[in-house]
Structure 1
Amino acid sequence: MLTPPSFIDDKAIAGAVATHWLPEATEARYLPWGFGAHHWRVAGGGTTLFVTLDQLGPRHTAASLEATYAGAAALAAAGLDAVCAPLPSRSGRFTVDAGCGALSVTPWLDGRSPTETEAGEPRHVGEVVAALAALHRAAPPEGLREWTPRVGPRFADEVRARTAEPWTSGPLAQEARAALAARHEAIARWTSRYLELADLARARRDAWVPTHGEPHNDNQVITACGLTLVDWESLALAPRERDYADLLEAGAGERLDHDPAMVELFALDWRLSEIAEYLSWFAAPHTGTDDDRTALEGLYEELSAAEE
């Protein structure tokens, strides 16, 4: 997230990391990176850690997030070099309850994320294809959650009902409400097709594999040792096409064994889950921060598919 959270400060983050992972931790610096979780750089005793605060729901419970990060650690232990896995706390768990979410840490990586242009270059695409192929061949870790549809058959009706009256929750509320209301028919059409494809995917459950879920360029880090995939919060057992959106856009289709129907499923999975999250975001109190404006841009981007 671009804006530091109001409900926890850097000192509390450093203290939690010192208690559960790195006793020497003294310095915590907020990182305005990503969108969805809060991040810090925490250092002490010559060690640097990357710290994440995940807020639970709608994607996770405390138990499912712990199982997900434990699964990522199991994949790394099994020899998947591209997995930047969370580090266990003193208790052996990979997440710690911070009262306002779940804390986790990973090693600090000396490297950088590629730009969208760099991520589309043939050599880099080949590295990502190879990393995902290894992931998809891996034995599923014990307790790995299974992908499930993010919205149900009544989603479009819920959107219509929640946007029927003016919103007074913040400075961007009415603009977001109007945009959602204007796309109701498209949302209903997308939802119907999405659930049809989800049924098809479940009928092929025996072919599901471990998937990252969001292996786009922002979740890639290029280090001296090669490509590393970060942010394993979305790890799940699913059709392999869940990981292919950016690769297919980069022209890697001939290198990927993929089912167009499953590609369509996960394009809709992303779009509808984003719309659902933005609906909740702007119906709730907000103040017009940089995160709020970025979220509104994201909402328009997802809804614009109605005009394609």
Structure 2
Amino acid sequence: MREPPDFLSAEAVLDAVRTHWPIAVDTIEHLPVGFGAHHWRVSSAGSPRLFVTLDRLGLRRTAESLEAAYTAANELAAAGLEFVAASVPDRQGRCTVPLAGGSVSCVPWTEGSPAGSGPIGSDDLARQNAEALARLHATAPPVGIPNWRPRVGSDFGSSLAEQLQDPWETGPYGERARTSLAQRIEAIRGWTEAYHELGRRAADRPWVPTHGESHTANQLLTDRGLVFVDWESLAVAPRERDLVTLVNSGYVDLAAPDWEMIELFDLEWRLSEVAEYADWFGRPHTGTASDRAAFDNLVMELERPGWTRPDDRTH
């Protein structure tokens, strides 16, 4: 998130880290990075030690699913997947601690630069993506790893239409968001129907461990190579859950995907974003930088062209 949470002080986060993790730290700084969660850099004697995350609970994840995902990611790292940014267990051996209605987790601070915020920008990065994801997908699923399930229900379009009947006097973007959603409600119904049909077909495909949000914003370029961060969406699923970025960046040959499953997870991203932002703007908000970015993301997902297979594309 772009701004610190208004319901929790940095000092309270630092105190939680000191209390629950066996690592000496003395300073904390909020980082205006990512979206949907809050992040801090926690240091000791001026040196960064931990990257701390407060995950919100709700539409996408629960405290139980977060703990299961982060625990499974630690097991993947222990199995030799060096590109997994694993969590630091707390004094009780758990990866998450409840705080302010969410879950706090810590990973060791890693020096590096983000790989980007859109398509994969080079052949070398694409190759590193393909090789790392192939190793992940070939690894035996850890015990307790979550199973993928649809992020929105089959009635999402209908239930959303009901929520759009009355004005959203919730803040500066409320009515604008409601109008944008109402204008695309029939498309949302169609996306939802197609998504659940493809989800039913997914049961017949091989399922493997998947990161779930392996886009370039969740990749760090480091001295030791490519590192994937933010493993809260880790789940067993068809491998195409991790391949949409490769495909959309033009590296179909490296992905070798099942096209129906690519379409499934492209629809999943669009619908889960729409659902999250509909919930966001249906609630009180004040027009922060995060609100502005959320509204722009909502409009982009509503208006971007529908996914087509490469042999159907004109370029």
Per the TM superposition, whether the score is higher than 0.5 is yes
Gaps of 5+ in 1: none
2:94 matched to which residue of 1? Answer: 93
Amino acid at match of 1:218: A
Please give the per-residue CA displacement for 1:135-166, whole angstroms capped at 9, x wherever unaligned.
Answer: 00011011111111111221111111111111
Superposition misfits of 4+ residues, deviation over 4 angstroms: none
Name the CA distance, whole Å, in 1 between partners of 2:164 and 2:119: 40
Name the CA distance, whole Å, in 1 between partners of 2:3 and 2:117: 23
Q: Secondary structure at the match of 1:234?
A: coil
1:278–1:222: structure 2 CA closer, same or farther, 3 Å change rule?
A: same
Please give the per-residue CA displacement for 1:197-235, whole angstroms capped at 9, x wherever unaligned.
Answer: 00000233xx10000011111111111111110000111
Paired residues, what number? 306
2:24 matched to which residue of 1? Answer: 24
Query: What is the root-mean-square deviation in Å for CA atoms of aligned residues?
Result: 1.5
User: 1:118, 1:124 within 8 Å by CA — same for their partners in 2?
Assistant: no
User: What displacement does 1:23 show?
Assistant: 4.7
Please give the per-residue CA displacement for 1:80-125, whole angstroms capped at 9, x wherever unaligned.
Answer: 0110101100110000111331100001001111235883200110
1:293 matched to which residue of 2? Answer: 292
1:112-191 correspondence to structure 2 within 5 Å? 112-116=113-117, 119-191=120-192
Q: Does 1:198 align with 2:199?
A: yes
Name the CA distance, whole Å, in 2 between partners of 1:116 and 1:16: 31
User: 1:183, 1:306 within 8 Å by CA — same for their partners in 2?
Assistant: no
TM-score where L is the length of structure 1: 0.96
1:77–1:23: structure 2 CA closer, same or farther, 3 Å change rule?
A: closer
User: What displacement does 1:22 show?
Assistant: 4.2
Gaps of 5+ in 2: 308-315
User: What displacement does 1:47 show?
Assistant: 5.5
User: 1:186, 1:306 within 8 Å by CA — same for their partners in 2?
Assistant: no
TM-score where L is the length of structure 2: 0.94
2:282 matched to which residue of 1? Answer: 283
Name the CA distance, whole Å, in 1 between partners of 2:32 and 2:4: 7
User: What displacement does 1:259 show?
Assistant: 0.7
Name the CA distance, whole Å, in 2 between partners of 1:149 and 1:232: 18
